[in-house]
Structure 1
Amino acid sequence: MTFERDNYCFACGKENTNGLQMNIEAEGGHSHTRIKFPNYMQGYNGVVHGGLIATVLDELAVYAGISLGYNFATGEITVRFKRPVKIGDEYIVEGEVIEDRGKVVTVKSFLKDYEDVVYARADAKLIRIND
């Protein structure tokens, strides 16, 4: 199976009006963006749904991998939720390649505030695709 990118990705697709439409910058094994979650993305009142936090961490992990010059898909991801992420607050999300073993890349990603307090983090193993 060949995976093709288009503009309908839930996390970064500019054509997906129901998605997050994140603007992600990535280079040299690092990725970063800023995000503010709207009301309709809440779980408990005023708190972002954990699945959306996991989605954002996954996306930044993959972008960190893609910045190495290859396409990747997530093979495994573990998310740790440290504190509630609040609806309407702006956060920084970053991804960083920790180990590049060719076909498998290990990445860490973080969602944090402007004081560098981590709210959630993920450890991911990415699998290189479309070789």
Structure 2
Amino acid sequence: MGFDYCFVCGDKNPHGLNIKFHQDGDAVHATFHCEERHIGWPNVQHGGITSSLLDEASAYVPLNMGLVTVTAELNISFKAPVQVGETVHIEAHPSKVTKRLLYVEARMVNSEGEVKATSSAKMIVLSPEQQAKMGIEAPIGRE
């Protein structure tokens, strides 16, 4: 199984979220519609879904830069609940880039502009040897 089965962005995962991220310069964007199957508390999106969406957005930033990374840290601030039936916009952009680390800021807002959650991620850039050990030959979408 390849990246097509990714829980967040894979289009072949029948249980996944099937989110499509779009590049805009160094930033990435996506939308997500909360359904009843995404709840934790009644009528409220599960925090794990919110976390997964922000993590995936953070991972797409280095990917679009031609880098293969893994998340080392993900710090999330939940600002307001995402309600069932609500559509949110997810965006992420790099905040600092070093040779081995990429820092990414992400946020989730509803159609009225209310911030639902924010995150800061520290992504570790994998060396060619680390990529080979994981079975990754090239950045996803860059083969």
Q: What CA deviation, in whole Å up to 9, does each residue of 1:73-118 have, x standing for no partner?
A: 1010000000011112111000110001121000011000123221
Instruction: Determine which of 6, 12, 18 is the counterpart of 2:9.
Output: 12
Tell me the amino acid that sits aligned with residue 17 of structure 1: P
Q: Which residue of 1 aligns with 2:35?
A: 38
Name the structure with the higher helix share.
2
Alignment of 1:27-106 (within 5 A): 27-106=24-103
Which TM-score applies when normalising by structure 1? 0.92
Which deviates the most, 41-50 or 121-130? 121-130
Is the 8 Å Cα contact of residues 91 and 112 (structure 1) preserved in structure 2?
Answer: yes
Is the 8 Å Cα contact of residues 71 and 129 (structure 1) preserved in structure 2?
Answer: yes
CA–CA distance in 2 between the matches of 1:37 and 1:115?
15
**C-alpha displacement of 1:26:** 2.2
Matched, 1:107 2:104: yes
Counterpart secondary structure, 1:44: coil
> Structure 2 regions of 5+ residues with no counterpart?
129-143
**C-alpha displacement of 1:67:** 1.1
Name the structure with the higher strand share.
1
Give the structure with higher Rg (CA): 2
Tell me the amino acid that sits aligned with residue 61 of structure 1: S
CA–CA distance in 1 between the matches of 2:18 and 2:127?
24
Measured on the aligned residues, the alpha-carbon RMSD in Å equals: 1.4
Q: Which residue of 1 aligns with 2:113?
A: 116
Aligned residue pairs, count: 128
The higher relative CO (CA closer than 8 Å, separation ≥ 6) is in: 1
Is the 8 Å Cα contact of residues 27 and 67 (structure 1) preserved in structure 2?
Answer: no
Which TM-score applies when normalising by structure 2? 0.85
Tell me the amino acid that sits aligned with residue 118 of structure 2: R
CA–CA distance in 2 between the matches of 1:5 and 1:62?
16
Runs (4 or more) in structure 1 with deviation over 3 Å come to none
Tell me the amino acid that sits aligned with residue 16 of structure 1: N
